[in-house]
Structure formats: structure tokens, C-alpha cells
């Protein structure tokens, strides 16, 4: 495989990833209100700019830009959960994913400096969204208070099966 073919394949994968992220943030924004809606809408716009950058890289290589697909299964499920329960139900999952991706563009010669900074900031925005209802600030000050939320979504789903109960606010 030639160098350009490898680059084109990589750009197509990154384009798909950026589009999926934009779809996810847009879907979550539709389920959110107030300041959260604004932040999620802006995150979707950032991901669309990243996707446009990757599409431009494909064009520079003389490669066709693939049409946008439907949102991926992960995005569809998370958006459904956010609409069905609330955005809080998916924020812990989103936070973990964003922290994992925070350094994704660090050292990527084809990414702009702004793209790397954007990716690092996404996790911070999601973390702040989760802490907006924490009047004591304990989750911000003491990291271990926000580390284990994995059972909350499971508890919410089980609660719905048992007749429904509101999702706890973290």
C-alpha cells in the first residue's frame, strides 16, 4: 500500500470518527436544556470542523470524500438513553471516552494545533457539566468522589424494569 493510500485510509477513518462524534453531541444537545445544550451544540460544531479538515485532507490527496453515514450504534444508543432518561445518564461514559481520546491529535502532523487543544478540552467540558449540581464542590476537589459511576446507568435501567424510578443526579 502506498504512502498516499495509507494516509487516505487513515483520513477516512478519522473522518468517520469525527462525524460520529458530531452526531453524538448533536443528539445529546437535542436531549439537553439550558447551558448544557449550548455546550453540547458547540462540541458538535467543533467535531464538524474537525471532520471538514479531514475531508479537505482527502481532497488534497485526490481522494473522494465518502458521504456521511447514519450515526453509529454507540451514538444512537447514547442519544436514546439521554432522551429516555436524561443527559446525566450518559455523561460518565462520555467523560471516560473523552479522557481516553484527549491526546489523540498530539503529535499528529496532519492535525492543526487547534484540533489537539479542542480534543483536550472536551473532557474538561464534560467533567464540568457533571459537576454543575455539586454545591459542595467535593467531586471537583476530591477526584475519588467522581470516579465510580459505572453502576448508576445499570441501576437506572433496572429501576425502569422494576416500574421506574428517577435517575439519580451525580
Taking 90 as the threshold, does the pLDDT of residue 40 lie above it? yes
91-116 pLDDT, tens digit each: 998 888 888 877 777 778 888 878 87
Between residues 141 and 88, the one the model is more confident about: 88
CA-based torsion, 40, 46, 49, 51: positive or negative: negative
Flag whether the pTM goes above 0.75. Answer: no
Give me the domains of the chain, ranges plus CATH numbers. 3-161 (1.20.1260)
Return the percent helix, strand and coil in the chain, to nearest 5. 70, 0, 30
Amino acid at each position: 500500500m502506498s504512502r498516499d493510500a495509507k494516509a487516505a485510509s487513515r483520513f477516512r477513518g478519522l473522518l468517520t470518527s469525527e462525524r460520529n462524534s458530531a452526531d453524538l453531541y448533536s443528539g445529546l444537545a437535542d436531549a439537553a436544556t439550558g447551558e448544557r445544550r449550548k455546550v453540547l451544540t458547540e462540541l458538535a460544531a467543533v467535531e464538524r470542523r474537525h471532520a471538514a479538515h479531514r475531508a479537505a485532507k482527502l481532497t488534497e490527496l485526490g481522494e473522494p470524500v465518502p458521504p456521511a453515514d447514519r450515526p453509529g450504534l454507540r451514538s444512537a444508543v447514547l442519544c436514546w438513553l439521554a432522551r429516555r432518561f436524561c443527559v446525566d445518564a450518559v455523561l460518565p461514559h462520555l467523560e471516560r471516552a473523552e479522557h481516553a481520546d484527549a491526546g489523540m491529535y498530539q503529535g499528529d502532523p496532519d492535525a492543526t494545533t487547534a484540533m489537539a487543544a479542542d480534543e483536550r478540552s472536551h473532557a474538561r467540558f464534560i467533567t464540568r457539566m457533571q459537576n454543575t449540581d455539586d454545591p459542595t464542590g467535593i467531586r471537583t476537589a476530591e477526584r475519588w468522589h467522581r470516579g465510580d459511576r459505572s453502576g448508576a446507568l445499570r441501576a437506572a435501567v433496572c429501576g425502569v424494569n422494576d416500574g421506574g424510578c428517577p435517575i439519580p443526579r451525580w
